[in-house]
Structure 1
Amino acid sequence: MFLGFIMTISPINTLIFIFFVVILSPSLSHADTTAVFIIGDSLYDVGTNTYLLKSIAKANFPWYGIDFFNSTPNGRFCNGQNLADFTTKIAFGESVTSPPPFQAIHRGGINFQERLMEALDINSTRHWEGPIKRFTLASTRAKENPGKGVNFASSGCGIIDATSAIDQAVSITQQLKEVKFVYGNLSSQMGAEKAMEYFEKATFFICIGNNDVNFFALFRYKLEPDPYIDKLIQSYNNTLTTLYKLGARKFGIFGVPYVGCSPLMRVTIKGGNCSKTANDLAQQFNIKLEGLLVRMQENSEDMHFSYANSYNLLYDIYMNPATYKIKYVNTACCGLGRFRAMSNCNPIARLCKDRKEYLFWDVSHPSQYIAQLMMEKFAFGEPRYVGPITWSELVNI
């Protein structure tokens, strides 16, 4: 139909028409993604928990942020930029960092609308580089420069709300309410139809499930895992369905990593071995999660997803550290005691000299070096690590 229309006008007018389509059409401009919305746990948290008075999971003190701009602690559970920052770069260029936390935008509701419109850059007041083709050294030198969107992720969050309650995190139920709140404000500004179109072109990245697996392995290991996994999958299904009804069509899904060999899990096991319970549960959950995504896409032709197999990637790094220029996979860079996992990173903790040599920054979070490496694999990697399309292809849809 579109091509048929072009063929009915004169050659000169056709060239003029095509010129304006290429220049002005949003779908052909630099940013095929209108915004990045980030949902999840501490792997994606960029300061949400700093605003939560009751939360016990915070990273707004040294040595967190030591390799960030001005060595400033900023709420990220990392020595520098984290997975949310590198995820955002895929869509908007190497100079950007994660969108701001919803809690920072909201701040009790005062001037929320103004700050939200600024975060989403509805009026296109900023220039965006557009999707990147590869990561360079420039990616790790970025200042705090939020990309378009909102980050809802909260450290300690789980797929089920009972997990979130342990660390007083923003639960997935509450994060979805915040997404709806953003949608409602967009609707009041743009109208419901345009707000839904905006959500359709946005990319939703979800990283959740790590805490649910850790919690089960530490405290519920005597129970049968299958009913627990089914409960997690049902909750995940509800999350995706809720977002889909709001207009979300593009999903970047982060599978549960190879979590059983983290310092957090090792320090709890006699002999310092990996937790087979955690790794088995993560693997079983991921299989069912992939199945859920495939079924949802089959039932909704306009839905697109890209599944990041972080389990395979972390397993490969753990088993072949030299291939990735890593020296230490069992011990955290920052912490105290055995595996530097007897406490989380803090001002009196032991700090390694070269963060690039470590798989883990603290008891359970990857270093900036590993975060970038992971995103390179998910953005441009092979089917063992991402599929059915890459995250770079996803944001360009």
Structure 2
Amino acid sequence: MATNFITTFFFCVLVFGTYGIMCQLVPGTYIFGDSLVDDGNNNYLSLSLAKADFPHNGVDFPTGKATGRFSNGKNAADFLADKVGLPLAPPYLSLVSKSKKLSSTNAVVTGVNFASGGAGILNGTDELFKQSIPLTKQVGYYSLVHDELVKQMGSTGAHAHLSKSIFLIVIGSNDLFGYFNKDSKVSKQYTPQQYVDLMASTLKGLMKQMYGMGARKFVISGVGVIGCCPAQRKHNASSECNDEVNYWSTKYNIGLKALLRELKTESSDMHYSYFETYDVMNSLIQNPQSYGITEIKEACCGLGNLKADIPCTPISTYCSNRKNHLFWDLYHPTETISSLFAGFIYNGSQEVTNPMNVEELIKV
């Protein structure tokens, strides 16, 4: 009886809300990354300085309350889940008991979010924020979810489920922020080129581990124009972008695209969709009016210069019109921008989402 249910569940998921009952081409979304897609994992990290479980975060979320998302509302991972007709993936740590075992096992079928604010590809990035879940540990947590799926569905069923699921990876910004931080230790160990090469090679190794545990369809976001976030602009008297950080973001993205091509060559049944975050974000900064944006420099929520001296906290002020701002706080985009990005990821042209968009990826 249970086996039949799981088999049926794989082919046709019961989705509540506006979607009704629909056969799922994407049975699950498994999300890895940093604060751009964290939906509450850091709420469970007692030492973390990178938390968003307080107002004014979540002011535009359906509940109107903060959830741990670094946003006024939903993030890009949430919007992508909406587009493929799946419930929002729960944060992994919300499913874990005090004994560190998965205590809510049914939830893992439609997806899990492993992302953590402050996380990087490389271990040690979290030193900036005292505590986060680096990508290596996120992949380790995924291995436990993989084992649980095998336990529930059997090896064949789990493989079939995971081969059609989406594996979203949004990470790399914190590694670069860490390298160019004035107190950086890694900048004394590596040249910038060596460092971005190390980021790419480390990510490749972790993706191969995920492939070995059933992942076949990857959605990868390049690093954006991070030198133009309010936290970087505020250091310049003219509020201009940090060109050095932006330059090395582009160099990392070149390496990222090369590693994806290598992985595809090595494993023909691995498919991916790469989002040109940098190009889309740069276009938005250069031509904000074409996207309905009027404020590209100042954060919506915060205090001080560009509202970036003090982060978005309960004592901060926030703008009344969040839809015309690029940034919600000193680092993160508004819900409007996250929705825009998710739209490009889902059905954008090859100029911004290549070699295919997610709508095409799920049909492969």
TM-score (norm 2): 0.90
Q: Which protein shows a greater Rg?
A: 1
Distance 1:227 1:359, change over 3 A: same
Structure 1: gaps spanning 5 or more residues: 1-22, 121-147
Q: Report sequence identity in percent.
A: 34
SS at match of 1:71: coil
Shift of 1:354: 0.2
Are 2:61 and 1:68 equivalent residues in the alignment?
A: yes
Unaligned 5+ runs, structure 2: 1-7, 14-21
User: Quick check: 1:176–1:239 contact (8 Å CA) kept in 2?
Assistant: yes
Equivalent position of 2:155 in the other structure: 192
Query: 1:362 and 2:329 equivalent?
Result: yes
Indicate yes or no: 2:196 matched with 1:229. yes
Letter in 2 for 1:117: N
Q: Deviations over 1:222-280 (max 9, x none)?
A: 86211101110111011110000011100000110111100011123343221111110
Give distance in 2, aligned partners of 1:381 and 1:87: 13
Match of 1:112 among 62, 77, 102: 102
Partner residue of 1:327 out of 294, 298, 303: 294
CA RMSD of aligned residues (A): 2.1
1:253 partner letter: I
Distance in 2 (alpha carbons) for counterparts of 1:26 and 1:193: 14
Q: Give the equivalent residue in structure 2 for 1:162.
A: 124
**Cα distance in 1 for residues equivalent to 2:175 and 2:261:** 22
User: Out of 68, 71, 89, which is 1:99 matched to?
Assistant: 89
After superposition, give the CA deviation of every residue in 1:189-239 in whole Å (9 maximum; x if it has no partner): 232333223221211000000111122233357862111011101110111
Match of 1:345 among 305, 309, 312: 312
For the residue of structure 2 that corresponds to 1:191, the secondary structure is helix
CA distance in 2, matches of 1:290, 1:206: 13
The alignment status of 1:302 with 2:259, answered yes or no, reads no
1:202 matched to 2:165? The reply is yes
* Higher-helix-fraction structure: 1
Corresponding residue of 1:132: none
2:32 counterpart SS class:
strand
TM-score norm. by structure 1 comes to: 0.82
Are the aligned partners of 1:158 and 1:211 in contact in 2 as well (CA < 8 Å)? yes
The separation in 2 between residues aligned to 1:25 and 1:310, in whole angstroms, is 32
1:34/1:352 CA distance change after superposition, 3 Å: same
Q: Deviations over 1:77-131 (max 9, x none)?
A: 00011111012122216xx4x2000000113258835x221342xxxxxxxxxxx
Distance 2:354 2:224 in 1: 16
On the 8 A contact 1:63/1:345 being kept in 2, the answer is yes
How many residues align? The count is 344
